[in-house]
Structure 1
């Protein structure tokens, strides 16, 4: 099977999916970069038609909570259009039986693998987006790179680059990044990261959380090649995708390289394809503890608060969610995050992420749950008993 990976190398999910496809032996040609105008228009039309007809493939099935991203999409030679990097990895495992699946066969290992994957996809995105548009504000070239990748479809690349930079900076609050209102930004003509009196500032906390992730990942990889042992899994793909996104942002790349030269080399090795063919053993080891603690601190509180807020707002008849709701200051909720208040909007796709993780956890046997607990600590109550049996 061959495929087309549609998107941009600016996206952490594009980078993650590229690493996944290479490991799975799926030849995936990158587009629109490198394609002709006519062929790229045909591919874009194929995606738009699949969206309109609701035939986008999201393994194992689509859900009303899903949201179509701008990128990436995987277009396979059977005419199908696939979405969601984690779901595509699961689909690849199901479609190509192998002794080295991206999601381990062992249920306890699979639970930790998927937990790391989802935590990085959701909270890791907040950190790396902040790093690109705040920490590397003065030296990232993301707008120009996007214009170059989409040059066959969008003329006037300079204008596209400017618009993209403004849009991504404007979206910072939606992705959890709020500037202190009294900060003075240089008069350099670049878009200014937004802040608001109505929203607690999060810049310092996001940068602390990014540093903590780098430190935790470094520890997890200190005595094994990959996060779960001696071969590549979906957890590694997620870590690679998020942090590799910042490796083309000079200030962020320098910060990671100086903080963890070993992690920088690990990212470069995956970029070079050295993960392909890895087939060693996997295990839950003590070096995972800092990373799992980072997940407890950074991911679990957001998922729990988001799920609770979704239920409250849905009971009120709310129908507008995600970025559309955020633009109108609707469906918002407050929580404590990294020791201080935060405020954000309900994201329906995160409701599904948390629901699926809880279902996976509740399917574990007592022995398997104990294996997870040994490295993770106390399990969230949603992982232990069904929601219908819980009291509030």
Structure 2
């Protein structure tokens, strides 16, 4: 395929699914390619091997689904997926970040901790990413992939006997809150999709809606969420101005409480640990203590972006939001003293900057 966007990722990748949902929505042609076997090209062009990485038809490279979607949407001759109302826009971005960074842990746990899901994902990735390695037996590929994912992104991310119930509760609570919302309206913030919906499609499409165990939970516990996943995947623009909420209702407010009690606490504790130079740290979320969680420079940057969006709000929008977002959990958004500075993307070139991985040292290459 020539003169189309090249998307390096996987058909079961969390963030690739988020991006693909948007590309389908905008009818943007793309070619899906594996990262494995293309590492040198990705490192040379984008500075990182992760999913997704995008190369435009003019040769430029983009990384990180969040700024990629923002950049793409700003160039569309159509109603934006970013709400015009400042307060609603901020909430949409907050929900996107929650989907990107908090729901990641239960998504990885469900995929790699359950035998059926582990077998499904390891087999698909062995064929999709390592199919060119014909000299390596398939069972060896599956074993190596599973060991890496389970060790690095489940056990290595604080999931153990003491935290497992809380990790699974994170998924169940998200389903319950979203089920209440989608029983009332087709999208999170109204009758049109926003960046909140596209962000949530990362975990809900390619992990929770696709892997056997969480998909069965979704079908039985939250059928309206299951229907929303299909609706988003088949979505096309209507051409009409987006009809969004005039005010936050009780179901959305309940979801925001969950976001503040989980994701914002995680961002705060991660930033404090980064400032102290800790490679790993402990954090307590909703009474559950996670130990030796990897500290993420990228998530410090995520917090910086949210705080920057908060500072850009006018006083009226801030008052409106502070009445919705519970303290002390949400105070990290408006505290005058920032807990840490990431030093990432100081030129504000994202998504065209040199990317970093979520975990590890996060030093651009």
Band the TM-score falls in, shorter-chain normalisation: 0.7 to 0.9
Question: How do 1:221-240 residues align onto structure 2 when only pairs under 5 Å count?
Answer: 221-240=182-201
Q: Note if 1:302 corresponds to 2:302.
A: no
Moved more, 8-17 or 334-343: 334-343
Structure with more contact order per residue of length (Cα contacts < 8 Å, sep ≥ 6): 2
How far apart are the structure 2 equivalents of 1:333 and 1:367? 37
Match of 1:50 among 45, 49, 65: 45
Moved more, 68-77 or 349-358: 68-77
Deviation for aligned residue 1:383: 2.8
Match of 2:142 among 138, 148, 161: 161
Which structure 1 segments of 5+ residues have no match?
Answer: 34-39, 55-67, 181-200, 314-329
Q: Note if 1:173 corresponds to 2:155.
A: yes
How far apart are the structure 1 equivalents of 2:264 and 2:71? 26
Match of 2:19 among 17, 23, 28: 17
Q: Note if 1:351 corresponds to 2:314.
A: no
Q: Where does residue 292 of structure 1 map in the other structure?
A: 256
Match of 2:210 among 235, 242, 248: 248
Deviation for aligned residue 1:139: 6.1
Q: Where does residue 218 of structure 1 map in the other structure?
A: 179
Q: Deviations along 1:235-276, whole A, 9 cap, x unmatched?
A: 1112122022232321221111111111111112223x1354
Match of 2:53 among 53, 56, 73: 73
Q: Where does residue 81 of structure 2 map in the other structure?
A: 102
Q: Deviations along 1:269-312, whole A, 9 cap, x unmatched?
A: 223x1354474312243131121111012101111111111112
- For the 8 Å contact 2:163–2:290, the answer to whether it is kept is yes
Q: Deviations along 1:42-72, whole A, 9 cap, x unmatched?
A: x654323214xx5xxxxxxxxxxxxx45211
Deviation for aligned residue 1:149: 1.8
Which structure 2 segments of 5+ residues have no match?
Answer: 340-365
Identify if the C-alpha distance between structure 1 residues 138 and 15 changes in structure 2 by more than 3 Å, giving closer, same or farther: closer
SS of corresponding position for 1:14? helix
Identify if the C-alpha distance between structure 1 residues 127 and 93 changes in structure 2 by more than 3 Å, giving closer, same or farther: same
SS of corresponding position for 1:335? strand
Q: Where does residue 112 of structure 1 map in the other structure?
A: 91
RMSD, aligned CA: 2.4
Identify if the C-alpha distance between structure 1 residues 144 and 388 changes in structure 2 by more than 3 Å, giving closer, same or farther: closer
Identify if the C-alpha distance between structure 1 residues 212 and 275 changes in structure 2 by more than 3 Å, giving closer, same or farther: farther
Match of 1:337 among 285, 288, 292: 285
Deviation for aligned residue 1:18: 0.3
- For the 8 Å contact 1:86–1:234, the answer to whether it is kept is no
Deviation for aligned residue 1:224: 1.4
Identify if the C-alpha distance between structure 1 residues 31 and 388 changes in structure 2 by more than 3 Å, giving closer, same or farther: closer
| Aligned structure 1 segments of 4 or more residues deviating by more than 6 angstroms | none
- For the 8 Å contact 1:111–1:360, the answer to whether it is kept is yes
Question: TM-score if structure 1 supplies the norm length?
Answer: 0.77
Question: TM-score if structure 2 supplies the norm length?
Answer: 0.82
How far apart are the structure 1 equivalents of 2:196 and 2:115? 26
Deviation for aligned residue 1:366: 1.2
Q: Where does residue 33 of structure 2 map in the other structure?
A: 31
SS of corresponding position for 2:214? helix
Matched positions, count: 328
Deviation for aligned residue 1:131: 1.0
How far apart are the structure 2 equivalents of 1:132 and 1:10? 11
Deviation for aligned residue 1:162: 2.0
